[in-house]
Amino acid sequence: MNSLVYIAFQDNDNARYIVEAIAQDNPHAEIQHQPAMIRVQAPGRLEIHRATVEEKLGRAWDVQEMLIDVITLGGNVEEEDDSFVLHWN
């Protein structure tokens, strides 16, 4: 049960910080820079934490704000005020 979960962002100034935060919180994640898109994938589970993203962005950040920059994602979503988790049930 180790299929990949993934999330892809538009390659913009906002998303680069989010990807940086994901890379820090998920050392097992693989980050692919594609033309105009950044795809992050990991076996089993990916966690995005509000605190880490805020630290990288340098401002208050709402988890839902992320969806503006998201192109696609795969996995079961568990969304809280402080985190956004992708995993397969």
The rounded distance, in Å, linking the Cα atoms of 49 and 23 is: 11
Using rule CB under 8 A, residue 47 touches another protein = no
Among 1, 2, 27, 59, binds another protein (CB under 8 A): 59
Number of residues interacting with another protein: please give it, by CB under 8 A: 10
Residue number, 70 or 85, with CB nearest to another protein: 70
Site for another protein contains 10 (CB under 8 A):
no
Q: Residue 20 has which token pair?
A: 């940086």
**Cβ–Cβ under 8 Å, residues 55 and 68:** no
- Alpha-carbon distance of 50 to 63, in angstroms, equals 6
> Residue 87 CB, nearest distance to another protein (Å)?
26
Q: Which residues pair with 9 in a beta bridge?
A: 38, 70
Residues that bind another protein (CB under 8 A): 11, 13, 16-17, 33-35, 57-59
